[in-house]
A and B are shown apart, each in its own frame.
Chain A
Amino acid sequence: MSTNVAAEASHPAPGDKPVHYLNWAYGVRSWLLTTDHKRIGILYLISITFFFFIGGIYATLIRLELLTPQADLVQPDTYNRLFTMHGIMMIFFFLIPSIPAVLGNFCIPLMIGAKDVAFPKLNLASWYMFMIGSTMAMFSLITGGVDTGWTFYTPFSTTYSNTYVAPVAIGIFVNGFSSIFTGVNFMATIHRMRAPGMTWFKLPLFVWSHYATSLIMVLGTPVLAITLVLVALERLFHFGFFDPAYGGDPVLFQHLFWFYSHPAVYIMILPGMGVVSEIIAAFSRKPVFGYRFVAFASLGIAAIGFLVWGHHLFLSSQGVYAGMIFSAISMMVAVPSAVKVFNWMATLFRGSIEYSTPMFYALGFIGLFVIGGLTGVMLATLGIDIHVHDTYFVVAHFHYIMVGSAVMGYLGGLHYWWPKITGRLYSGFWSHLSALLIFLGFNLTFFPQFLLGYLGMPRRYHVYPEEFQVLHVLSTAGASVLAVGYVIPLVYFLWSLKWGRVAGDNPWQAAGLEWHTSSPPPVHNFTTPPVLAPDAEPYHYDEELLTGTPSPELA
């Protein structure tokens, strides 16, 4: 790609302050009413960081309570609220918007050579929907939290829970539209806004993975939305939908809920896979091996992902044949996932590997994703699932996917594009250290939970037999390391804004179009609209870049 790009970033004379998207206007209005995809990405970045730390506080309290076998820190009721609010905050208000709404928003138009997303106002509306939805969730948090679990299983959520379920349900409903708007916007953008010459098979894999993610957002989220409407109607007006007292069937709720909420896992992981593809290519100085397979694997995961929700209902009166079919289809998700992992391996093979911080995260992602994915195959197996159903084995499995993979992908992407977003480089030492702490802390937190679950420790309990204490203490110790690892980037990222070294247009000598504009990019992204030559290829590094100097971050 790089050699054939007509666009060249403007290089103002030294001392001449270049105008870019951050400094062309100041003031609250210029941010809150912006339709610039880059600024909206920053708005999302600030908001979801807030919710990440709120969710983190809940996680801390959970781990502290589990330090001892007795209930000493919190009451049973409070504990139920802790794990519910941890799940709701982390899933709906951090993980689902994380990579798409922050990095996707920022990078996709740059990567495809567009001036903005297809619908800039809708993009801003999506952020406002997010803020309204999250405010409603915060209302419930302030009034004591919800105790239904993030899954809102009926009839407990519609009839028996004594907490403010309806505001949270409606908040997630509203937040769902933020997700739908983002999905519609990305799909229209990728279809219609590509620069001349940027054909489908020249798109970076990050864009492909966001296309697949958007498909899930557009097709899945509305089903959750209507389900939550029904829950709210049953709770507020006692309409009969799911409560057996009214003749309803609670299992129908579970089907509708998981029809969205299982594919939602792929909303969280697919963008992370896209980030990893970009990082691996950039720091192996090679095009991604088997580009088309990786691109189609994203679509494959999205498509198969819609047919596996029944594996959450193996023990919910689902027929045994349905269980077998759902089990088999669930295992099939491992195929496109493995295609990606093997292709990343092949990309690394004989690459000119540079251990930059984003690369730390990408390599960590691959390792943790393999563990999370393979335990997923175990859980898709009917016999094993019945044994470890609702135990810490399941908790450990999905944290390997949603934290070990998705959050690592998010942080990796943030480190990779931070110089582009802010124009500054962060500290090499501290970023390496925190990446290492996060990797070690994560494994120390969650690997013992596999053992706990296999030995029979059920999830959502705050008391346990004494023989489990050693593993729980290990897990809490790991969580402390993890917490330190998450706080350090907050410090050095903020530090870099003022004191970080100026990054330059392409500090990593990476290939994508986003590196061919200035850092931070100008308001309309490119001073000259980019045009790709017919023989341009994705991730094609020319000789000049291959022999480039090591990244300045290591200095």
Chain B
Amino acid sequence: MAAITYKNASCIYEGSDKLAVDNLNLDIQDGEFIVLVGPSGSGKSTALRMLAGLEDIDEGSIEIGGKDMTGVPSKDRDIAMVFQNYALYPNKTVAENMGFALKLRGVSSAERRKKVEEAAKVLDLTEHLDRKPAKLSGGQRQRVAMGRAIVREPQVFCMDEPLSNLDAKLRVQTRTQIAALQRRLGTTTVYVTHDQVEAMTMGDRVAVLRFGKLQQFASPNELYDRPANAFVAGFIGSPAMNLVTLPVAADGVKIGGSTLELERENLTKLNEAGLSEVTFGIRPEQLEITDSGGVEVVVDLVEDLGSEAYVYTHATSGVELVARCNPRKAPRLADTIRLHRAPEGVVHLFHPQTGERLN
């Protein structure tokens, strides 16, 4: 196990004039489960591969356990890439499949068996150790593949979209298992995904990247409650946060003819910034349907999920808003309704040009 530090680490792809990873700084504690998340081209996989030694560190450095990894070959970094290497061998038992990497490294048969048994216990595969892979379910085979990495007892697990090749059901199941497993093993883990739900449900902390730059590195709750900028605000959460650029009025922000009132401290922040417009954000669960006041909108779509419903609407000014409501009391398509901010509803204000958080 080891702490990991990215210090102003950058990577530039051959023939490109843009940095794939731009001056990345991350302090990952020993035993933490970190998720790198971002859209395609955000640099998340490149950042992981720099750690694994698969991409060069062109500027800055990456340390594992306090040791600079610049120029250190991948095999000498004591890391394991999980899941990429999936091949299972039909005539070998589960135990043999799991322990083979150790055999190649010259580990004795007794020691191999011990490590395999320990890993099998953690992976809930003990009773299958002497079976052949053909007798296992899809999920169990995934776990054997994971076992091949675990038995090596690396300092760091690197996982690059490990679940992307699984069907939806197995993906959710394996997601939970990986997170639980990592907590039992306590091995520092860096996990890459494009799926923000995966990121939020698995990581101790999540690093959001965009165009190679770190946007925010924080706990899932912090990312959700206090996104550092409009990009993070829009990226984290499903459905996404309502984000609209609105004119600033004396007592709030204007949506068409209506005003959405803001607290004094938020108004002060807007005044200090000297802005006539602001990017205003509010999560769907913090908008409520009301009988009077608020903003008048027309219902475009109602998404009934059983336990909750999401109402997709537009105001006459063209502003689109999504609100969460009780599915038993959901409005119907084309209804005109009014939305207001819930009593304890939090609003997020971002600079309309830079996207930086203002409040």
* A pairs with B: no
